[in-house]
Amino acid sequence: MPPTTKPGKRPKASRLQSELARKILRLLKEEDAQPGHHLVELDLCQAFGVSRTPVRGALKLLAGEGIVTSRGGRGFVLARMPAAEDNESSGEEAEDQRLFEALAAARGSATLADQFTQQEVVRRFGARLGAVMRVLRHLSELGLVERKPGNGWAFVADPARILNESYAFRRALEPQMLLQPGFRLDRAWAEKARERHIKLRKKPWRAGDGASFHAVNAEFHEQLARSSGNRAMLKAVQRQAELRDFLIGQWDYPMEQVHSAIDDHLEILAALEAGYADKAAALMLHHLTQSQSQSEAA
């Protein structure tokens, strides 16, 4: 029999394998996976855009934690779902999110130069070097920064072009996710989403309400992606949301633009609830096209 790894004895891992292990756990939680759930390596490779080798390494890490169990050459199954990720991982995620938001705010206020070093970010934001490296790698994956020779980094020029390319990608992606054979609308969520949208539409407008709509908007698009049943589409929508968080998360949208987006969302929901997926896809395309025009005019 092949040797097994005892729970609690975590094998030595690369940074990529450790990050993948955390991502696999988050994916399993999103899917509400139960013990006995079979983890398909190919699906995980496609979901995270990596080869089988790091995926297998990540699964072995989870096996070392007693979270998954090897089936002796036939892959892995979920043994138990931890109630929460370990404190170290949770702490890292919170630290990374704070730094991500701080960099976005500094970039949005034009107080962060186009070129900078890791050490400058450490000093200015009081961040640990590990967090700085993780966040910069993530921003690089999103196409927002690039490494320069040595330890320098630079923001990619022309953020308006990045945003326009994002909208072009979303116009190709998001209408199609509503047409997926596995699309299943969560009607309980749809009803709650409608209530939140209508409440925001009717409330007296105050300064800052435009910025608060950003989270409502991101949740709407992500939930529809989750309803598609296509994990690759969900991952793509989440990445585009992160990109927008960095580029426009601080924007205070005008009332007319927020109300227009709310009306679009409500129409899309109504079409989906009535079973008119084609109509919903057409409405989504119109919504994204209009949103891009409004962002260009801002």
- Give per-residue pLDDT as tens, 31-74: 778 888 888 888 888 777 677 888 888 898 888 888 999 887 77
Q: Provide mean pLDDT across the span 4-12.
A: 43
Quick one: pLDDT at residue 250? Answer: 62
Instruction: Indicate which CATH number applies to the domain containing 177.
Output: 1.20.120.530
202 token code pair: 């009717």
User: Does position 234 have pLDDT exceeding 90, yes or no?
Assistant: yes
The residues with which 39 forms a beta bridge, in sequence order, are: 76
2 in any annotated domain: no
41 in any annotated domain: yes
Clarify whether residues 126 and 172 are in a common domain. Answer: no
Q: In what order do the strands lie in the sheet with 145-147?
A: 115-117, 152-155, 145-147
25 in any annotated domain: yes
Instruction: Indicate which CATH number applies to the domain containing 144.
Output: 1.10.10.10
pLDDT band for position 94 (cuts 50, 70, 90): confident
User: Does position 4 have pLDDT exceeding 60, yes or no?
Assistant: no
Phi, psi of 186 (to 5 degrees): -80, 100
Quick one: pLDDT at residue 109? Answer: 87
Clarify whether residues 118 and 66 are in a common domain. Answer: no
264 in any annotated domain: yes
Clarify whether residues 132 and 116 are in a common domain. Answer: yes
pLDDT band for position 89 (cuts 50, 70, 90): low
Quick one: pLDDT at residue 142? Answer: 92
Domain range spanning residue 40? Answer: 15-78
pTM of the model: 0.68
Q: In what order do the strands lie in the sheet with 68-70?
A: 38-39, 76-78, 68-70
Clarify whether residues 44 and 140 are in a common domain. Answer: no
1 in any annotated domain: no
Q: How many domains does the chain have?
A: 3
**By the 8 A CB rule, do 155 and 200 touch?**
no
- Of 105, 131, 155, the one marking the end of a domain is 155
6 in any annotated domain: no
- Percent above pLDDT 90 for the chain: 48
**By the 8 A CB rule, do 240 and 166 touch?**
yes
User: Does position 175 have pLDDT exceeding 90, yes or no?
Assistant: yes
User: Does position 197 have pLDDT exceeding 70, yes or no?
Assistant: yes
The residues with which 117 forms a beta bridge, in sequence order, are: 152
Clarify whether residues 148 and 165 are in a common domain. Answer: no
Clarify whether residues 114 and 224 are in a common domain. Answer: no
User: Does position 6 have pLDDT exceeding 50, yes or no?
Assistant: no
- Mean pLDDT rounded to a whole number for the chain: 86
User: Does position 223 have pLDDT exceeding 70, yes or no?
Assistant: yes
Clarify whether residues 289 and 194 are in a common domain. Answer: yes
Clarify whether residues 208 and 292 are in a common domain. Answer: yes
Clarify whether residues 172 and 233 are in a common domain. Answer: yes
- Of 138, 155, 172, the one marking the end of a domain is 155
Q: Provide mean pLDDT across the span 13-41.
A: 80
Clarify whether residues 73 and 165 are in a common domain. Answer: no
Say whether 107 sits in a helix, a strand or coil: helix
Q: How far apart are CA 55 and CA 14, in angstroms?
A: 11
User: Does position 288 have pLDDT exceeding 90, yes or no?
Assistant: yes
